[in-house]
Amino acid sequence: MNYYIVYVLESDLKSEHYYVGFTEDLESRLIDHNQGKTASTSKYRPWRIKTFISFRDCHKAKAFEKYLKSGSGRAFLKKRL
């Protein structure tokens, strides 16, 4: 069974800098981020996983990722993390 993961990364350099993403393989995705393969995260390397949630439904995972990237979603993360 596949799981779809929405994750929040925190920069080791600037602990107030976060990145929200979606993947099916969190370990490989973290390696990609830390190797600079993602343009939007390469300048804040290294990254560590702050939190993640897994979903069985791909559409729900993508919707949650979209919410976390919105203004109210970012406010939610700031208050809860």
Q: How much is the pLDDT for 51? A: 97
Round to whole Å and give the CA distance between 40 and 33. Answer: 9
Read off the pTM: 0.93
**Packed helices 58-68 and 71-80: angle between N→C axes, nearest 10 degrees:** 80
Residue 74 contacts residue 23 (beta carbons within 8 Å): no
Q: What is the pLDDT of residues 15-60, one digit of tens each?
A: 689 999 999 999 999 999 999 999 999 999 999 999 999 999 999 9
In CATH, 4-80 is 3.40.1440: yes
Residue 64 contacts residue 15 (beta carbons within 8 Å): no
Domain residue extents for the chain: 4-80
